Chain A
Amino acid sequence: MPDQARQPLGAQEDATAEGLTAGASEATPEPGAPHGLWTDAWHDLRRNPVFLVSALLILFLVLVALWPGLIATGDPNHCELIRSLEGPSAGHWFGFDTQGCDVYTRTVHGARASITVGVCATLGVALLGAVIGGLAGFYGGFWDAVLSRLGDIFFGIPMVLGAIVFLSMVSLGGIWPVVLIIAALGWPQIARIARGAVITAKQNDYVQAARALGASNTRMLLRHILPNAVAPVIVMATIMLGTFIALEATLSYLGVGLRPPTVSWGVDISAASDGMQFRNAPHILLYPAGALSITVLAFIMLGDAVRDALDPKLR
């Protein structure tokens, strides 16, 4: 837990006593009592309905992505052409798609691809961006110039454009090329934020003190600077997660992202909008598109809530 490092010198004992996990027994912190950014943020978030709703939704989505069999026992690729475009019924709530596959089963199983792409791409972008941006900000000078220009180069390629070109050329299918190209083109945004945060943190008195006491570069980075620079990166990454999930769907819609037999919302939406097949059977578009939109919305709201909680300007 990064709490201690956030405290001004001398405030550490109070801070640890008032740890983040103290839970419900911890009442509103007394005004003026020293408490860290994370304690404050958690205190705010617990009372924020937007955070609670989106966090519960995301928890549910993650569970469904991990064990789709819990709520949909069928096989998403089991289709009977004779039931093509059949409407919703008691046994099959969401009806059947053009191929006669059960839309409910496919929508539930589609969560895994979308969530995996979103989470893995965000992890890749955040790690790459934080390391490159952090090193650029910490060492400054020559390396800063080189790494920043490198970031500018990747930033100069609009993401969807680069992703379409890359994916159509490798044409492997599956989720990993999609994750790879998003991570490769998305990191400069995080790197810029991480660089700024590290430069700000580096100038703090306690970091200067640590240097004066002879701390190594590694120790300063990991123990003193990282805990202070990580908040903006987390906020940006959460917001980006939602957009990456939407991006995967867009790429699948364009036919270069995920492809059948991979079960994904983007693949199903693409099949439903192809030649306006949804016009006689709106359910084949509505359910996968609805699931996708709710997921994106949940991550955007979570990002908003976390940003409000962590942004010191709003305190």
Chain B
Amino acid sequence: MGRYIVRRLLQMIPVFIGATLIIFLMVYALGDPVTALFGDRSPDPATARALRAEFNLDKPLWHQYLLYMGKIFTGDFGTAFNGQPVTDLMRHAFPISLRLAVVALVLEMLIGIALGVVTGLRRGRAVDTTVLVLTLVVIAIPTFVLGTTAQYFLGVKLGWIDPAVGPDAPFNQLLVPGLILCLVSLAYVTRLTRTSVVENARSDYIRTAVAKGLPRSRITVRHLLRNSLIPVVTYLGADIGTLMAGAIVTERIFNIQGVGYQLFQGILRQNSPTVVGFVVVLVLIFLIANLLVDLLYAVLDPRIRYA
């Protein structure tokens, strides 16, 4: 197990460097942050030169990248163009997005798996068909449409929730945004769990368990569910990326000042240090989450052993 983790971590290094390099090039080679800073006016050449020198923008791109990465490993993500250190923005934004992600993941797992087991065990019945059709509808309607309509009906018209989340973003205000964020993934989790429950319900070990006279609940939870969760866990790894992207939309709709919100503001204003800094951290989270998911297999399925 230890050697496997070390190997995976080593494999992550080139991927991390490559992915961050691509983002870095997109931001610094395609856009010109100094010109963007001045908006529609053309910048004063002397000021522009001073800014370029201050942010290392006058050096060749590869040199800029090396300088940037070198600083990151000392915890210095640079300064946004308005003078605020990027780490300050992160310290405020990441806890909020983490809460949102926790709400989304918990709802997704609890509701998704429960619905998947229920429909899988009652295949072909009314419950099954209804839930399947609903999942398709949820997948087909774009998140931003669901989000804005939910905000309007629940927030403005009925007044059940706050239409905009406050700067502290406590858990209770994040329930509906979290649900909206995870709805598409929830639908996929439901469908995946259902398929694998249907497959496993026919297997020999379930028949044995029934023949032994075990109670139904024990068979479902201990025998059926544990084996059916493996494809769901696989999906979870890819889903982290979906949630990150979805957070940009959801946080914009509900005015949650988390990572997606800051990142989007940074992109709109071409605030390059903010954009690159946040994306670098997100890529790192994505890679580590996928490693954790692979390790989770071994917990769920003792037949899988990593050498």
- Residues 225-262 of chain B: 1 if any A CB is under 8 Å from the residue's CB, otherwise 0? 00000000000000001101110110010000000000
- Residues 188-200 of chain A: 1 if any B CB is under 8 Å from the residue's CB, otherwise 0? 0000000000000
A273 located at the interface, meaning its Cβ lies under 8 Å from any Cβ of chain B in the complex: yes
A170 located at the interface, meaning its Cβ lies under 8 Å from any Cβ of chain B in the complex: yes
In this complex, how many residues of chain A approach chain B with their Cβ under 8 Å: the count is 40
Measured CB to CB, the closest approach of chain A to B194, in angstroms, equals 13
Partner of B252, one of A152, A254, A279: A254
B94 located at the interface, meaning its Cβ lies under 8 Å from any Cβ of chain A in the complex: no
Tell me, in angstroms, the Cα distance from A156 to B27 when the chains sit together.
17
B268 located at the interface, meaning its Cβ lies under 8 Å from any Cβ of chain A in the complex: yes
Measured CB to CB, the closest approach of chain A to B95, in angstroms, equals 20
**Residues of the B chain whose Cβ atoms lie less than 8 Å from the Cβ of A256:** 267
**In the complex, are the beta carbons of A296 and B144 less than 8 A apart?**
no
Tell me, in angstroms, the Cα distance from A285 to B242 when the chains sit together.
25
B142 located at the interface, meaning its Cβ lies under 8 Å from any Cβ of chain A in the complex: yes
Interface segment out of the listed A80-88, A158-166, A224-232: A158-166
Tell me, in angstroms, the Cα distance from A158 to B238 when the chains sit together.
9
Residue of B nearest to A297 (CB): B140
**In the complex, are the beta carbons of A279 and B286 less than 8 A apart?**
no
**In the complex, are the beta carbons of A273 and B136 less than 8 A apart?**
no
A64 located at the interface, meaning its Cβ lies under 8 Å from any Cβ of chain B in the complex: no
Q: Given that A165-B26, A169-B26, A279-B156 are known contacts, is A269 also in contact with B142, CB under 8 Å in the complex?
A: yes
Find residues 275-310 in chain A having any chain B CB closer than 8 Å to their own CB: 276, 278-279, 285, 289, 292-294, 296-297, 300-301
Q: Given that A253-B144, A292-B142, A296-B140 are known contacts, is A164 also in contact with B287, CB under 8 Å in the complex?
A: no
Most buried by B among A157, A159, A292, A301: A157
**Residues of the B chain whose Cβ atoms lie less than 8 Å from the Cβ of A250:** 142-144, 249
Measured CB to CB, the closest approach of chain B to A67, in angstroms, equals 25
B205 located at the interface, meaning its Cβ lies under 8 Å from any Cβ of chain A in the complex: no
B149 located at the interface, meaning its Cβ lies under 8 Å from any Cβ of chain A in the complex: yes
Most buried by B among A152, A164, A169: A169
A168 located at the interface, meaning its Cβ lies under 8 Å from any Cβ of chain B in the complex: yes
**Residues of the A chain whose Cβ atoms lie less than 8 Å from the Cβ of B241:** 158-159
B30 located at the interface, meaning its Cβ lies under 8 Å from any Cβ of chain A in the complex: yes
**In the complex, are the beta carbons of A276 and B148 less than 8 A apart?**
yes
**In the complex, are the beta carbons of B286 and A156 less than 8 A apart?**
yes
Measured CB to CB, the closest approach of chain A to B49, in angstroms, equals 22
**In the complex, are the beta carbons of A285 and B26 less than 8 A apart?**
no
Measured CB to CB, the closest approach of chain B to A310, in angstroms, equals 16
**In the complex, are the beta carbons of B140 and A294 less than 8 A apart?**
yes
**Residues of the B chain whose Cβ atoms lie less than 8 Å from the Cβ of A166:** 26, 30
A46 located at the interface, meaning its Cβ lies under 8 Å from any Cβ of chain B in the complex: no
Find residues 107-141 in chain B having any chain A CB closer than 8 Å to their own CB: 136-137, 139-141
Find residues 254-306 in chain B having any chain A CB closer than 8 Å to their own CB: 263-264, 267-268, 270, 275, 279, 282-283, 286-287
**In the complex, are the beta carbons of A157 and B264 less than 8 A apart?**
no
**Residues of the B chain whose Cβ atoms lie less than 8 Å from the Cβ of A161:** 244-245, 248, 263, 279, 282
Interface segment out of the listed B12-20, B53-61, B70-78, B172-180: B12-20
B145 located at the interface, meaning its Cβ lies under 8 Å from any Cβ of chain A in the complex: yes
B171 located at the interface, meaning its Cβ lies under 8 Å from any Cβ of chain A in the complex: no
Return 28 A-B CB contacts under 8 Å, by A number.
Answer: A149-B11, A150-B18, A152-B11, A154-B22, A156-B18, A158-B282, A159-B245, A160-B248, A162-B26, A165-B23, A165-B27, A165-B267, A168-B31, A169-B27, A169-B30, A169-B31, A250-B143, A253-B144, A254-B264, A269-B145, A276-B151, A279-B156, A289-B142, A292-B142, A293-B141, A297-B139, A300-B139, A301-B136
Which 8 residue pairs are nearest across A and B when measured between Cβ atoms?
A: A160-B245, A153-B18, A297-B140, A169-B30, A158-B241, A169-B31, A156-B19, A273-B148
19 further A-B contacts with Cβ under 8 Å, apart from A157-B23, A289-B141, are: A152-B11, A153-B22, A154-B19, A157-B19, A157-B279, A158-B244, A159-B245, A161-B245, A164-B248, A165-B26, A169-B27, A169-B30, A246-B140, A254-B248, A254-B252, A269-B142, A285-B145, A293-B140, A297-B140
